[in-house]
Homo-oligomer: A and B are copies of this chain.
Amino acid sequence: MLTIDYANCLSTRVGSHGIDPARVDGSSEEAKGLAAITRSLKETRGTGWERWFGLWNEPMRSEHVGAIKPLVKSLHGKFENMVVLGIGGSALGNIAIQSALNPATYNLLSSKERGGPRMFVVDNVDPVNLAGVLAQCEPKKTLFNVISKSGETAETAAQFMLVRRMLEDALGKKWASHVVAITDPEKGTMRTICDEHGITTLPVPEGVGGRFSSLSPVGLFSSAMCGIDIDALLDGAKAMDERCRSEDLTKNPAAMLAHLLVDLGNRKGKHSHVMMPYCNALYLMADWYRQLWAESLGKRRDKDGAEVFTGFTPIKALGATDQHSQVQLYREGPNDKVFILCEVEKFDEDLTIPTGMGVEALSYLEGKSMQTLLNAEKRATEYALLESGRPNMTIRFPKVDAHHIGEFIALWQIATAYAGRLLNIDAYDQPAVETGKKATFGLMGRAGYEDWLAKVDSALAATDYVV
């Protein structure tokens, strides 16, 4: 199972930049506070915006898996490509799970090697990028998986409008059979479109926000299409969730994770969190984490209305690669970060560095495995960070498989619930994204938003401050 080694967050290891070990003791006041949160979560889990706790439990689990599996089976072998149209929480989980559990070269493999379709996730409206993907995807051989709860997210709507026309031009009335939509089961613009055209749908479950939806059909459908074991994902999440019901802080990974990170922020000024997996497959999991952590905890006001401008800045890095890019800063720049290293104990495949090179300076590498080298680099960085008084922890994966990825996802979602309570903020809203949406409507000429156009043009009037 996934473990967190947090010895290097403590003052015994990093001096004044670390937490007093008394504060992580199971009998401390802090532990009692966290136990109270654990108890309160038992009340709220599965209700309101914490309905995501139900994703790996009955009845939601069987409803979702029971809908996804027959659909995937019915589509099997019919499409050479699948293109996910979505943005934010409707894309990041899909990308993260796919890149963690399928090879980086997945789209270059033969159809037989892959088993599933090639997979593209288009999560932007960059025309060059979108045109490039569409040029790869002959309509007859392509399934489009559009993901939008409302159907009104501008980026996804624009993509969908384009794709729909492309499909209709190529396939006529059969166009709708090349779309699977994941959307609100009851209402909204996308729902209306799907009902009108008979588009197959899967639900975005009620009360599950975008950034908490990767283990709902939002992330599970594309995963299952690409051969990923979605039962194992959910089993892993469930196993982690069970560990996180413990009122003993020292046995509850999510409570401890949230406690460490909030405490290092509040008491030691570490407001940036660097997620640095020593494993390429886990690198894009950091993008999923970035949204969850930033959007949930970055809040101007606390629950009492006080202005707090709280939150942590998530940063992604890759070991060993970023040792040659970021570690100089991480050791000698401002001491304002916590490093969340991820380590893999056993890679699915290993490579042995050959003997017989005949170069003295490189002989120490001969006969060693690449995994040994990579994990030695990780341990060396851990040591170097320690020597500079930089708090860090290690999330250890026995291996990278669907079960452990499920654990990882649940760990962070549950830690977010704890952190929101520790910071006394609402982890489930995102009030600050509204302004940009309305300003975009204004700039795009949507009726009713004329005043926004005027406000933007006035605030951003051209000046001579250009070089």
A164 near B357 with CB under 8 A, answer: yes
A467 near B4 with CB under 8 A, answer: yes
Binds B, one of A5-13, A42-50, A218-226: A5-13
A328 interface contact, C-beta 8 A: yes
A24 interface contact, C-beta 8 A: yes
B131 near A349 with CB under 8 A, answer: yes
- In the complex, which of the residues B125, B295, B333, B361 contacts A374, with contact meaning CB atoms closer than 8 Å? B125
Closest residue of chain B to A351 (Cβ to Cβ) is B127
> Contacts A3-B467, A135-B105, A467-B4 given: A281-B129 contact, CB under 8 Å?
yes
The interface bits of chain A over 367-394 (1 if a CB of B lies within 8 angstroms of the residue's CB, else 0) are 0111111101101111110111000000
Q: Which residues of B contact A334 (CB under 8 A)?
A: 271, 309-311, 313
Closest residue of chain B to A91 (Cβ to Cβ) is B321
> Contacts A328-B432, A432-B384, A436-B380 given: A347-B127 contact, CB under 8 Å?
yes
B436 near A384 with CB under 8 A, answer: yes
Q: Which residues of B contact A294 (CB under 8 A)?
A: 325-326, 328-329, 333
CB distance from A266 to the nearest CB of B (A): 12
Binds B, one of A70-78, A249-257, A402-410: A249-257
- In the complex, which of the residues B383, B388, B431, B440 contacts A377, with contact meaning CB atoms closer than 8 Å? B440
Q: What range describes how many residues of A lie at the interface?
A: 35 or more
> Contacts A321-B87, A456-B379 given: A373-B154 contact, CB under 8 Å?
yes
A455 near B383 with CB under 8 A, answer: yes
A290 interface contact, C-beta 8 A: yes
Known: A7-B466, A105-B132, A162-B370. 14 other contacts (CB 8 A): A5-B463, A88-B321, A105-B135, A126-B279, A131-B349, A152-B362, A158-B368, A158-B370, A162-B351, A290-B326, A376-B440, A377-B440, A380-B436, A386-B459
Instruction: Give A1-37 interface residues, CB cut-off 8 Å to B.
Output: 3-8, 10, 13, 21, 24
For A24, A128, A290, A323, which residue has the most chain B Cβ atoms within 10 angstroms? A128
Instruction: Give A143-166 interface residues, CB cut-off 8 Å to B.
Output: 151-155, 157-158, 161-162, 164-165
A315 interface contact, C-beta 8 A: yes
For A365, A443, A465, which residue has the most chain B Cβ atoms within 10 angstroms? A465
Closest residue of chain B to A449 (Cβ to Cβ) is B364
CB distance from A331 to the nearest CB of B (A): 4
Determine the distance from Cα of A310 to Cα of B336 in the docked complex, in whole angstroms.
11
Determine the distance from Cα of A223 to Cα of B10 in the docked complex, in whole angstroms.
47
CB distance from A285 to the nearest CB of B (A): 14
A306 interface contact, C-beta 8 A: no
A443 near B325 with CB under 8 A, answer: no
Closest residue of chain B to A249 (Cβ to Cβ) is B467
CB distance from A220 to the nearest CB of B (A): 20
B155 near A320 with CB under 8 A, answer: yes
Determine the distance from Cα of A436 to Cα of B331 in the docked complex, in whole angstroms.
11
Q: Is the interface of A mostly helix, strand, loop or mixed?
A: helix
B298 near A333 with CB under 8 A, answer: yes
A189 near B129 with CB under 8 A, answer: no
A124 interface contact, C-beta 8 A: yes
Q: Which residues of B contact A381 (CB under 8 A)?
A: 436
The interface bits of chain A over 425-463 (1 if a CB of B lies within 8 angstroms of the residue's CB, else 0) are 000001111011111111111110000000110011001
B320 near A332 with CB under 8 A, answer: no
The interface bits of chain A over 160-187 (1 if a CB of B lies within 8 angstroms of the residue's CB, else 0) are 0110110000000000000000000000
Closest residue of chain B to A251 (Cβ to Cβ) is B467
A107 interface contact, C-beta 8 A: yes
Closest residue of chain B to A329 (Cβ to Cβ) is B298
Determine the distance from Cα of A335 to Cα of B164 in the docked complex, in whole angstroms.
42
B311 near A161 with CB under 8 A, answer: no
Q: Which residues of B contact A154 (CB under 8 A)?
A: 365, 373, 377
The interface bits of chain A over 244-266 (1 if a CB of B lies within 8 angstroms of the residue's CB, else 0) are 00000011110010000000000
Q: Which residues of B contact A287 (CB under 8 A)?
A: 325
Q: Which residues of B contact A281 (CB under 8 A)?
A: 126, 128-129
Q: Which residues of B contact A373 (CB under 8 A)?
A: 125, 154-155, 158, 440, 444
B321 near A124 with CB under 8 A, answer: yes
Q: Which residues of B contact A435 (CB under 8 A)?
A: 331, 380, 383-384, 387
